[in-house]
Structure 1
Amino acid sequence: MSAAAHKTRDLVLISLFAALIAVCAWIAIPTTVPFTMQTFGVFFAFGVLGCRRGTLAVLVYLLLGAVGLPVFSGGNAGLGAIFGATGGYMVSWLLMGPILWAAERAFGKKTWASVLGMIAGLAVCYALGTVWFMAVYARQTGPVGLWTALWWCVIPFILPDLFKIGLAAVLCRRLSGFVR
């Protein structure tokens, strides 16, 4: 395959996975931090596309939302959504690719290494997103304690997010030979 064909293929895959993340965002149950399938889309993008292309897919998704396309949970869009109370969770997705890459580099491209990388990425997402949430919420409403923030933003999502990681890992394993 020529270099131009590789670039075209990469652009198509990055665009498709950015669109997949958007579709996953629309599958939502509204709560303080909305329960969505976005994180599944992000895990799936990184698992299938790898670090570089997966990060670009997430970046394209965030940029589409930043310029006003209603791709975020609940049809939200704009910089206000990114810099709002739950925006830190979305921004932290950009760190998941390098974390997954590091896990695969350390342990090989095994399914369990990908799952470990996804769990580590999720932990970073929770940490950064919760700190961001606490800072923005404090500015907008008043201080919120760490335990309260964890009960609102992390604890209810742990099991569903672990399920999404498992689902992404299984699907990535099935599709990895077709895309890489």
Structure 2
Amino acid sequence: MAVLEAWYMDESTDDQRLHHKLQPDQPVSLEELKEVGVLYWKLNADIYEDDPALQKIRKERGYSYMDIITIHPDKLPNYEDKLKMFYEEHLHLDDEIRYILEGRAYFDVRDKNDRWIRIAMAKGDLITLPAGIYHRFTLDETNYTKAMRLFVGEPVWKAYNRPADDFEIRQQYVDLLQRS
């Protein structure tokens, strides 16, 4: 199974769906992602409905709510507007948990020095972004992903665009980064 790929991004403002790798490439390891609070699992998306590994993660982490979203121009109303909204730098007051069932997508997160790290998500990738981390989301050039969204308790869809440093959860996240 392929392992998650992540890298530091270039400063280009070209199409957000492109790789945006620095030249030379500066890969980011799973351990480095963990240092900024990003957790990762590789699962078998072909059996997501009855996958014991997914059920175990959901039980251990309290992911009680789940739904599935398909992001594609033909499947998501107001596709272009939604993609622009997802790509605005923001944070949430709760963890963001996403499991790619089909297709591909990118999550971009900030490191301790406020540099962008791009995380390339593909079928079978499950990540958790911690509450308070600045991030954004986009598709790649295929313009398609089907993803499971997981939540602890009732889903909360509210995003707070940067700057959102006054939230207590942001301060807790920054404190956690400074300790690691």
Same fold (TM > 0.5): no
Q: Give the structure with the larger strand fraction.
A: 2
Q: Give the structure with the larger helix fraction.
A: 1
Q: Which has the higher contact order (CA 8 A, sep 6+)?
A: 2
Provide TM-score, normalisation by structure 2: 0.28
Provide TM-score, normalisation by structure 1: 0.28
